[in-house]
Structure 1
Amino acid sequence: MTATVDRSTAIADAAVAVISRDGVRGLTHRAVDRELGLPLGTTSNHARTRRDLVALVVDRLAQLSVVDVDRPSGRRRRPTSVKGAVDLLTELFDAVVARGPETRARFALTLELAADPELHELLTIASPARAHLYEQGRELLETLGVPDAQARAADLVGLLNGLAFDAVSGAERRGPAPDVRAVLTAWLAGVRGIRPARR
């Protein structure tokens, strides 16, 4: 059983690498076999159809995303200042961006699976990592005294997603990259009704 689980995880990780490098259309059973150096047909034994293979990837991405969301919060108490919140959110952002292949695969699949509600929801509204991030965001904003923290938590998740997409999509090659700390500082100061300090 453990060997099967380990092989499934290896297949999912290889599929993530294929998607990150070649796009979703490059994902085939043969491509994953080649990525792992396995005999052709091995991946098919663990994921019979292409949708089964994609589902394996979606599940794996959900696992990895939860690790990223949990990583910063486990290290410190909830911050009570904008600076402390920006430190925490920047650490989370850096963890997500450091997983470039996984993050690129997640964004690619989110777009590709728009017509498959079941799998699409696992990457978006039904994602355990996203739900956890919403809850952490709400608690963080409440601690900072942000009005209507629940609604603003959705805004925060959207902002972080946009910044992460920009970071992993190669946008910096077309112009200067956003200053993540400055963006988060200005946003948090704004939702608290406080003007950010001038530099």
Structure 2
Amino acid sequence: MARIGDAAIEVLAEEGMRGLTHRAVDRAAELPPGSTSYYARTRAALLELAVTRMVELDETAVLPAAPHGPDEAAAYVARFVHALVSSGPRMIARYEFALEATRRPEVREIYQRAALEFRRRCAEVLAAVGSPDPGRHTRMVIAWCEGLIFDTVAGAGSGEPPSFDELLADTRELLRGMLG
């Protein structure tokens, strides 16, 4: 399944949502025709498989335990953002999902489910390091992360992605401003 999920992400990044077909994924995964259909019978199932794989890959960038203190939290967030901006086609595929989710409720549900889990984890981390308002601070941290990631992957900043050290310094400054 991971091979099919990885291939679906690759197809999304290279060909966009319209190019994501079972046959295209079979070709990208170098599998016999019909293999993807065996595991994901419908287009919705294929989209869910791809999102699930993206979440699995994202989770490898997250520390196994919650950080203790603002500096560890800054490193936690910086490591996650650095992994995402370094992930190549995965972020382009994620933007394809985000745009498609604005037009198709079934994609929105899949996309939203993954996003809510990330927000929940972010709120837990912020609460653990002393945020007086984890819900509001989560919204701020995620907006900052998403803006930075978009600028790095698809925006004007894409020619010069930030290093981990730059991201760490930026994240520390952001969290210090929030947490005092």
Say yes or no: TM over 0.5: yes
1:76-155 paired onto structure 2 within 5 Å: 77-80=67-70, 83-124=71-112, 127=115, 128-140=117-129, 142=130, 146-155=131-140
Distance (Å, rounded) in 2 between the aligned partners of 1:121 and 1:139: 29
Q: In the alignment, is the contact (CA less than 8 A) between 1:65 and 1:129 conserved in 2?
A: no
Partner of 1:180: 167
**What is the CA-CA distance between 1:152 and the residue it aligns to?**
1.1
Is the Cα–Cα contact under 8 Å of residues 119 and 138 in structure 2 kept in the other structure? no
Alpha-carbon distance, 1:172 to partner: 2.6
Pairwise CA distance, 1:191: 2.2
Change (3 A) 1:66 1:87: closer
Superposition deviation, residue 163 in structure 1: 1.4
Cα distance, 1:156 vs structure 2: 0.9
1:16: which partner in 2? Answer: 9
Separation in 2, partners of 1:139, 1:99: 28
Count of residues in Structure 1 that have an aligned counterpart in Structure 2 = 176
2:178 to 158, 178, 191: 191
Alpha-carbon distance in structure 1 between the residues aligned to 2:105 and 2:124: 23
In structure 2, the residue corresponding to 1:68 is in which secondary structure? coil
**Residue type at the aligned position of 2:56:** Q
The CA distance in 1 between the partners of 2:60 and 2:154, in whole Å, is 22
Q: Relative to structure 1, is the Cα distance of residues 102 and 32 closer, same or farther in structure 2, using a 3 angstrom cutoff?
A: same
Return the TM-score normalized by structure 1: 0.72
CA distance in 1, matches of 2:161, 2:36: 38
User: Aligned letter for 1:162?
Assistant: G
- 5+ residue gaps, structure 2, are none
What letter is aligned with 2:3?
A: A
Cα-Cα RMSD: 2.7
Q: Percent identity?
A: 34
In 1: Cα distance, 2:143 partner to 2:109 partner: 16
Q: Could you tell which deviates more after superposition, 120-129 or 51-60?
A: 120-129
CA 88–38 in structure 1, closer or farther in 2 if over 3 Å, else same: closer
Q: How far off is 1:161 after superposition?
A: 1.9
Moved over 6 A (4+): none
Instruction: Flag the 1:84–1:136 CA change in 2: closer, same or farther, 3 A.
Output: closer
Aligned twin of 1:48: 41
- TM-score normalised according to structure 2 size: 0.79
Which of 1 and 2 has greater Rg?
A: 1
- Select between 15-24 and 90-99 the one with higher mean Cα deviation: 90-99
Distance 1:78 1:117, change over 3 A: farther
Higher relative contact order (CA 8 A, sep 6+): 2
